[in-house]
Amino acid sequence: MALEKIDIEELDPARTIVVATGNMHKLVEIEDILSRVLPDVRFVALGQLGEFEDPEETGTTFLDNALIKAEAAVEATGLPAIADDSGLVVDALDGEPGVYSARYAGVHGDDAANNAKLLANLVDVPDAKRTARFMSVVALIDTDGLVTYGVGACEGMVGHEERGEFGFGYDPLFLPDDTPGKTMAELTPDEKNAISHRFHALQDLSAKLAGEDA
């Protein structure tokens, strides 16, 4: 579904937050949760405001990269902005692939190669030691530079083979603790969203914003 283009001049800077994404699903998910504590705010995707070059994600943590993306959106638009960064953290691999999840095998976004490398690196690791979690950090930066962020996790383990038709990335290999016997890719979008790391990060951010507004 294409994003509707918006004239930035028509937006009220005091009641608008830019979401650093071109993904409608992510925009809707973020709006659905944060609008409960920010009911007067309009959430717009960065991709709706024009073509912007993606900043280089040079951070060593998920928070670093979320801030890099949010800061770039603030600078590009002059509006408050929110961005997220996420990835898979595998205990037996000392936290890999971590912030390099999308480019673990060398090419950004090559899910097949990333999954193949992950399986190869875990080939001799027994189930009990294949524990892992998806991590997400969602950061909001206002035009004065004030940062508020939420952190979320989805605990589980890495399976031995890919299963499922939904999702992307490592979803076909990841078995969440909340859905025994099913990979993330075997869950419907609604089922995934109810337990996802980004969902929990948005809940954390929402609680912090509600506390600040109290």
In the 8-state DSSP scheme, what is residue 97?
A: B
Pairing of strands 81-90, 42-45: unpaired
Q: List all residues 6 or more positions away from 21 whose beta carbon is below 8 Å from its beta carbon.
A: 27, 45, 46, 47, 83
Nearest by Cα to 158 from 140, 167, 171: 171
CA 57, CA 163: separation in Å to the nearest integer? 30
3-state secondary structure 30-65: HHHHHCCCCCCCEEEEHHHCCCCCCCCCCCCCHHHH
Pairing of strands 174-176, 147-158: antiparallel
Going by C-alpha positions, the residue among 99, 108, 105 that lies closest to residue 120 is 105
* E strand or H helix at 213: helix 197-213
User: Which residue in the list 84, 85, 171, 204 is annotated as catalytic?
Assistant: 85
Q: Is 110 a catalytic residue?
A: no
Positions annotated as catalytic residues are: 85
